[in-house]
Amino acid sequence: MPLKIIRQDITKIKCDAIVNPTDPFFSHGGGTDEAIHAAAGEKLYAACIAHGELKVGEAVLTPAFDLPSKYVIHTVGPIWYGGASNEESELRACYSSCLTLALSNKCESVAFPLISSGTFGFPKDRVLKIATDVIGDFLLAHDIFVYIVVYDKDSYAISEKLFSDVESFIGDNYKDIDMSFCSPLLTEDASLRPLKNRKTKSYPSATCTCPIPTPNLDDMLKNLDCGFAETLFRYIDERGISDVDCYKRANVDKKTFSKIKCNKNYKPSKVTAVSFAIALRLDINETNHLLNTVGMSLSRSNKFDVIIEYFITTGNYESIFDVNEVLYKFDQVTLGV
């Protein structure tokens, strides 16, 4: 099942479990911890202290009480001391412990905040990278729907270098085409002005004596190119990966993949098709070939497409979640289903 980055109040999410970043003594002193306790009610604190002291990287589960989720998973994130005090491995342990605990309690969905990115001072871009790495690896082996929840844009960050690189690429390649002259609301003179002002050059006519073959529709219909499903599975075979690895890397759920596999005429959305292209690490020509099978292509007039082209042409990503971080930052739809 996929990983989604969403902007929402974690106390309002309806899922099996939400994760609460707390301190060793469950003192719910501020931030997300305080908000979760306030929404859950007084019984949550009593359930927490029954577990005793909690160490950094560990996780415990309690009922969610008045929250819309079933459970709250509490974990203690590391305080940031500059990066030389084992903070990154401790943060990885937090995400891993919570995922393992959710799975062992038969949770099918879990929502995470960016642990330690608030008062504990962990750099937000590093938290995001660690979270997507750990969750992404976990999802390759297990089926569970995971949300990374950010409250607002200020609580979300990607690498400044990556952001600058993508922003520069968009600036160089994104063509925001002005189609206003095509508007039916314009007068006839205004709509024709671009054509009237265009300088044209006349050329002498040439007579071609070569016979032009008449296309035969029956022959054309007998020689259709391969459809999306056949093309996708050919690329999967060429890359030497399993079907399961493919749809998990694509952040696509099993149900959608089964539809593609069972229906050779299935036409996915552009986002789904691009998700498979990224998962299979297709080059730009292969990506457009896959998209062409459902009548689509990457365009320089679409910011989403330009960002996808950046990652494909630079190969500057390890997983689909790296791409999604940037798409989210630029207010674009993220990949997967």
The single residue of 33, 125, 305, 322 carrying the catalytic annotation is 33
Distance CA 102, CA 60 (A): 10
Q: How many residues does the chain have?
A: 337
* Token couple for 204: 């002498």
Distances from the Cα of 319 to the Cα of 65, 140, 238, 280, 295, angstroms: 36, 11, 19, 10, 26
Contact 158, 128 (CB under 8 A): yes
Whether 33 is catalytic: yes
Residues 36-42: contacts with CB under 8 Å, at least 24 apart: 36/10, 36/11, 36/67, 36/72, 38/11, 39/11, 39/66, 39/67, 40/11, 40/64, 40/65, 40/66, 40/67, 40/72, 41/65, 41/66
- DSSP 8-state code for residue 185: T
Question: Which residue, among 247, 272, 250, has the nearest Cα to 258 in the 3D structure?
Answer: 247
Residues serving a catalytic function are 33
